[in-house]
């Protein structure tokens, strides 16, 4: 817990290692205590880390924390209302009832900053808290909003209650909204003038065979996307965007710094657009995982890598069917990525020899801290079909003795280069990927 503004305490920031957010009663007590003394202005509950090895196993997850906070806020509003009514009763002979109520509530001015995570089972709880907040001087303000498996109507009802001048991130996933649904939602996002990050993964977008009516819809989608003037991060993972990337991104008013296009069925024209676009010189994070970079996309990707090398910090090319020969051809571009901190290329059919060559070149990148590499093809028990599919690589049996020898050889390269600060792992979940706001 940290405090700001010196002797006059006006801001409390609750860190992720603090027990404050494990008990609803503590939040209620703090708000009520502060409302009576009128000194607290902000309670900052943002920035909790919910993934990775450093997470507190006893702490609440983001969904439970949102439910607990919503209920706590609702309890506070109810208690403040009861106290205001009691105060009115005692002072009814001195003041007009309505003026007293307004004065009582105006004396309380606490902003609760939070990152909110909601789904269909908790949306009503959060909506009740936000609606109550709109009529109370203890205001629940959302910085980062994430909704899963929520209908269009349910999402709109919540978006309409969020502060348009405070929200910086919207993350909608597993909602199966499709292009039509997302286009209608974008209409409600234009009011968020501070929106920097928009994530729409797993939304059932497929632009490969559009009817005449759907052509109009994708044009509308692109036009509304371009109205998000501060947008710096966009995630369209698992959308079938074949040949349409330029149409979607060319109207953006600012250059993207983070772009996630995993499993998007990209075509060479899409990668060529990125190479020639204003985004190429500003991209810090790029995720092309799940796109086949080994054939028609390979040459455009080589060129793109050079164009983004000056700014690139985070690169994901997992499950892209890249072999030793492809990696060898990418080395000149990778060596230019002087600010690269993260490289993920898990589930690509590389040999131990190929990995050694790659690592020997990567150790010269002084900012590099994390490499997620694939299980070498020569460490599998059985002969893999060539080229192996992702299923072959994920489900095949590994010879643990061969794997241990390969790991030792790779670690020896790090040791000789005095780069033991690099974490080299085949675990795609440890640690979590870099957040855009930490780039």
Domain map (residue ranges) of the chain = 1-115+129-142, 168-307, 313-439
User: In Å, how far are 102, 135, 272, 362 from 77, measured between CA atoms?
Assistant: 14, 9, 54, 56
CA 197, 22, 167: angle at the middle one, nearest 5?
20
As beta bridge partners, residue 285 has: 258, 314
Is the backbone peptide bond immediately before 161 cis, with ω within 30 degrees of 0?
A: no
In tens digits, the chain (439 residues) has pLDDT values of 555 554 445 666 665 544 444 555 556 555 655 555 556 788 888 887 665 444 455 557 888 889 988 888 888 777 765 554 455 445 554 545 444 444 444 455 688 899 999 999 999 999 999 998 877 777 899 999 999 999 999 999 999 999 999 999 999 999 889 999 999 999 999 999 999 999 999 999 999 888 888 899 999 999 999 999 999 999 999 999 999 999 999 999 999 999 999 999 999 999 999 999 999 999 999 999 999 999 999 999 999 999 999 999 999 999 999 999 999 999 999 999 999 999 999 999 999 999 999 999 999 999 999 999 999 999 999 888 999 999 999 999 999 999 999 999 999 999 999 999 999 999 998 777 778 998 8
CA distance 237 to 260: 6
CA distance 65 to 51: 14
Asked if residues 249 and 273 have their Cβ atoms less than 8 Å apart, the reply is yes
Asked if residues 180 and 187 have their Cβ atoms less than 8 Å apart, the reply is no
Q: What is the pLDDT of residue 50?
A: 61
Q: Based on the number of CB atoms within 10 Å of its own CB, is 227 exposed (0-12), middle (13-18) or buried (19 or more)?
A: middle
- Give SS3 for 223: helix
Structurally, at CATH architecture level, domain 168-307 sits in Alpha-Beta Horseshoe (3.80)
Asked if residues 92 and 45 have their Cβ atoms less than 8 Å apart, the reply is no
CA distance 139 to 132: 9
As a dihedral over the C-alpha atoms of residue 161, residue 204, residue 148, residue 164, rounded to 10 degrees, the angle is -20
Q: What is the pLDDT of residue 65?
A: 87
Token duo for residue 14: 């609750």
Token duo for residue 406: 């390969």
Q: What is the pLDDT of residue 106?
A: 47
- Give SS3 for 14: coil
Asked if residues 422 and 369 have their Cβ atoms less than 8 Å apart, the reply is yes
CA distance 349 to 56: 36
CA distance 252 to 235: 14
- Whole-structure pTM value: 0.89
């Amino acid at each position: 817990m940290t405090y700001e503004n010196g002797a006059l305490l006006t801001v409390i920031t609750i860190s992720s290692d603090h027990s404050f957010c494990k008990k609803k009663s503590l939040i209620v007590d703090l708000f009520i205590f502060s409302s009576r003394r009128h000194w607290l202005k902000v309670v900052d509950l943002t920035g909790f880390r919910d993934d990775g090895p450093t997470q507190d196993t006893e702490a609440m997850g983001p969904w439970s924390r949102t439910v607990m906070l919503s209920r706590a806020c609702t309890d506070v509003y109810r208690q403040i209302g009861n106290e205001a009514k009691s105060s009115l009763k005692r002072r009814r002979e001195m003041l007009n009832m309505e003026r007293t109520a307004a004065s009582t509530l105006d004396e309380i001015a606490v902003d609760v900053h939070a990152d909110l995570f909601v789904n269909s089972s908790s949306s009503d709880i959060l909506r009740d808290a936000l609606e109550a907040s709109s009529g109370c001087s203890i205001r629940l303000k959302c910085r980062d909003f994430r909704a899963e498996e929520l209908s269009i109507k349910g999402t709109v009802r919540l978006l309409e209650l969020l502060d348009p001048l405070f929200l910086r991130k919207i993350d909608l996933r597993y909602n199966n909204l499709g292009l039509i649904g997302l286009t209608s939602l974008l209409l409600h996002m234009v009011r968020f003038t501070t929106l920097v990050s928009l994530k729409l993964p797993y939304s059932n977008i497929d632009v490969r065979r559009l009817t005449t009516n759907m052509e109009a819809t994708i044009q509308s989608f692109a036009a509304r996307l371009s109205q998000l003037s501060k947008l710096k991060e966009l995630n369209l993972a698992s959308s079938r965007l074949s040949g349409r990337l330029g149409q979607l991104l060319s109207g953006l008013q600012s250059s993207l710094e983070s772009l996630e296009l995993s499993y998007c069925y990209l075509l060479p024209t899409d990668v060529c657009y990125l190479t020639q676009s204003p985004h190429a010189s500003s991209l810090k994070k790029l995720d092309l995982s799940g796109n086949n970079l080994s054939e028609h996309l390979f040459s455009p990707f080589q060129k793109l890598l050079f164009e983004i090398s000056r700014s690139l910090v985070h690169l994901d090319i997992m499950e892209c069917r890249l072999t030793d020969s492809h990696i060898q051809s990418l080395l000149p571009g990778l060596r230019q990525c002087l600010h690269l901190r993260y490289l993920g290329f898990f589930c690509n059919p590389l040999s131990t020899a190929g990995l050694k060559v790659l690592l020997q070149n990567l150790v010269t990148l002084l900012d590099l801290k994390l490499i997620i590499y694939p299980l070498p093809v020569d460490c599998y028990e059985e002969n893999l079909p060539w080229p192996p599919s992702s299923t072959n690589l994920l489900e095949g049996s590994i010879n643990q003795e061969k794997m241990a020898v390969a790991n030792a050889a790779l670690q020896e390269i790090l040791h000789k280069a005095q780069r033991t600060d690099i974490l080299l792992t085949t675990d795609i979940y440890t640690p979590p990927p870099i957040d855009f706001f930490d780039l």
